[in-house]
Structure 1
């Protein structure tokens, strides 16, 4: 809370900024006397004084205010350990966290304060509570690691993940709808057909499809190693994020599709040869020249959002022929189809690249429910 009182009319004002109470419960107030030509200027000086106190909170080594701690978290963890796209997505949540807790010191934040923050965000109609929960978990995890607070004082240990409304299951196409889809895809440019088929046949994400390079393809064994994901960030532009060794996965594709992909690949190589010095290509994070399977005539990658845009246009043109789904739902269609054909859930988990099989089970519970019904029907013969 911040306020001011007038000492001498239109000349001097006393500014007050109330901070979090001291550990003994006593008031923690900062004051300053300033000269101002009226109350409007006094309010501006008060706002500036309050901001100075918050910004200078880094001088409190053992117990900084939340904004100062967030700044340290960014410099000493997020900027080095998180990929650019993830940090950019976190920044939106960090703004709300910083604004809400700007007058609280890290040690003073209790579980109830976190829950009140979630309530405030819901009441304001702001979403992404799951992301904010994840960010707060990381902040206080590092507060423990860096010895700002004891492990037992971590407020996030006693705060449950906020509940959000979820669909009962993902949108997807069944066998009949996929036949219709393939007929319609035949009218699309070749690279768009292949991008959609990579997502459907392999269960790949949009960025994973655009991150496929020729060094990841084994045409003889019909395998593609998913080890990169293309991202487009505000600060660095295109970033080819390489997955960690344990997170890369090998996906086997249908042989006819791989033959189709090989013919396209050979044409891409010819384009590169024909372009000569006009071919600019693309460098990965290690500054190594890389030949992306999908890109423009200069070897530059397609923007990830351009894939969603072409898919939206495709859906709009065919809205009377087939139900509308997102491009990402091709991945869900892939998983739903192979599960309905009796493929083991563990194989599907590996194919999709889920770290935890519970993620796969939760996403495709609509399929497992059908299987449970089949299991129950087995006993009907006894009656």
Structure 2
């Protein structure tokens, strides 16, 4: 490594936060200058200059270690992945659900590349093993991309730790096809009306109420399950969204700052919720629980929050029962518990049909299709940026544009 010049200081927050970087020579293949990883420091501009000089010395020492591997043995992918996961587990900002996803993704990485030292794995090996893994075990492109994404995270950290040089990072040559983006399905106007009729015909219970709220507001599943009565103003027909109940069964703030919002609901939905509030109060009192402002609107029989996974399973069965979805496989089996082979169970696989999040897409599609302005749709969905709304629902906007052209043509005729 040949460090060129004295480095660069990037100002992030004047007088408080700076990023440091050095030029570490040219790539022998492309001839382009290579840059060191950015190092963030929290200090004044004068102190940042001193830190830049220290960072240069660190890079020189790391280069020396990479030239003499006997001084510091390079760990295997398995060892370094385990260390990475231990460090992630100490981050209090990460939920248990996120950590579980990390462990699942890195389990694939370790299975494929665990015995390779970090500096011996090459792009050709990664591409070949990922392709063979897909053929042998039928893994999807989504799984392969999660594997390579985890591997890139690992090697990015290894470069920053000085275990390998940036130019030797095998992830730079990964060639895995990206999965096709999934279509965002939404109900047609007639399907939406049919679903509304089904919901209104059902006996009032918490999970049916959740579907009603999702149809009326376009709220995310976590926002519906985290909604409490103190956030529902039935007199003014307003719902305040301040929290969500997540997959790892914990309360958190909305997905983004724009997720904290106040939504209007129609009078019919307000009357529906008022009736449900009375029914819920009676049901809870039968179990010795008193309804309060902090009681979830969509609650269990004991007044707690509904498990998101259990709700998703119920919603799939609800859709199949009412013609909005199907299972590819439904089979009966015995669980092996007790006498005579165990209890009879039913296993359902391969669900295809409506999912709860598509109620959200349906609301946006129907609103834009009825000429509702895009800022109102953005607010109801809780998107932080209006461009997100425009990108997701551009097909509906294009249809509106064609209709507008026809309107102008009719006026000129």
If the TM-score is normalised by the length of the shorter chain, which range does it land in? 0.5 to 0.7
Q: CA deviation at 1:76?
A: 0.8
Q: 1:343 corresponds to which residue?
A: 372
Q: 2:307 corresponds to which residue?
A: 303
Distance (Å, rounded) in 1 between the aligned partners of 2:72 and 2:226? 43
Distance (Å, rounded) in 2 between the aligned partners of 1:356 and 1:159? 32
Paired residues of 1:90 and 1:131 also in contact (CA < 8 A)? no
Q: 2:239 corresponds to which residue?
A: 223
Distance (Å, rounded) in 1 between the aligned partners of 2:226 and 2:355? 20
> In the alignment, does 2:139 pair up with 1:126?
yes
User: Aligned to 2:158, what secondary structure does the other structure show?
Assistant: helix
User: Aligned to 2:300, what secondary structure does the other structure show?
Assistant: coil
**Gaps (5+ residues) in structure 2?**
1-69, 327-351
Distance (Å, rounded) in 2 between the aligned partners of 1:153 and 1:362? 37
Distance (Å, rounded) in 1 between the aligned partners of 2:96 and 2:321? 35
Structure 1 range deviating more: 296-305 or 59-68: 59-68
Q: CA deviation at 1:367?
A: 1.4
Q: Tell me the TM-score normalised to structure 1 length.
A: 0.67
Paired residues of 2:218 and 2:364 also in contact (CA < 8 A)? yes
Distance (Å, rounded) in 1 between the aligned partners of 2:207 and 2:111? 43
Q: CA deviation at 1:299?
A: 1.5
Aligned residue runs from structure 1 range 195-234, under 5 A? 195-219=210-234, 220=236, 222-232=238-248
Q: CA deviation at 1:252?
A: 0.6
| Residue 192 of structure 1, aligned match among 207, 217, 242 | 207
Change (3 A) 1:115 1:79: farther
Cα RMSD after superposing both structures:
3.8
Structure 1 range deviating more: 94-103 or 107-116: 107-116
Q: CA deviation at 1:335?
A: 1.7
Q: 2:150 corresponds to which residue?
A: 135
Distance (Å, rounded) in 2 between the aligned partners of 1:103 and 1:144? 19
Distance (Å, rounded) in 2 between the aligned partners of 1:146 and 1:247? 37
Does 1 or 2 have the higher relative contact order (CA < 8 Å, sep 6+)?
Answer: 1
Paired residues of 2:254 and 2:260 also in contact (CA < 8 A)? no
Change (3 A) 1:320 1:111: closer
Q: 1:373 corresponds to which residue?
A: 402
User: Aligned to 1:98, what secondary structure does the other structure show?
Assistant: helix
> In the alignment, does 2:86 pair up with 1:75?
yes
Distance (Å, rounded) in 1 between the aligned partners of 2:171 and 2:373? 36
Change (3 A) 1:129 1:351: farther
Distance (Å, rounded) in 2 between the aligned partners of 1:332 and 1:319? 19
Distance (Å, rounded) in 2 between the aligned partners of 1:117 and 1:350? 45
Q: 2:24 corresponds to which residue?
A: none
Q: 1:40 corresponds to which residue?
A: none
User: Aligned to 2:201, what secondary structure does the other structure show?
Assistant: coil
> In the alignment, does 2:193 pair up with 1:179?
yes
Distance (Å, rounded) in 2 between the aligned partners of 1:244 and 1:132? 25
Q: CA deviation at 1:245?
A: 6.7
Aligned length: 311
Aligned residue runs from structure 1 range 24-35, under 5 A? none
Paired residues of 1:202 and 1:251 also in contact (CA < 8 A)? no
User: Aligned to 1:224, what secondary structure does the other structure show?
Assistant: strand
Q: Tell me the TM-score normalised to structure 2 length.
A: 0.62
Q: CA deviation at 1:97?
A: 0.7
User: Aligned to 2:84, what secondary structure does the other structure show?
Assistant: helix
Distance (Å, rounded) in 2 between the aligned partners of 1:355 and 1:162? 30
Change (3 A) 1:195 1:361: same
Q: 1:53 corresponds to which residue?
A: none
Q: CA deviation at 1:360?
A: 4.0
Paired residues of 1:118 and 1:162 also in contact (CA < 8 A)? no
**Gaps (5+ residues) in structure 1?**
1-58, 233-237, 282-288
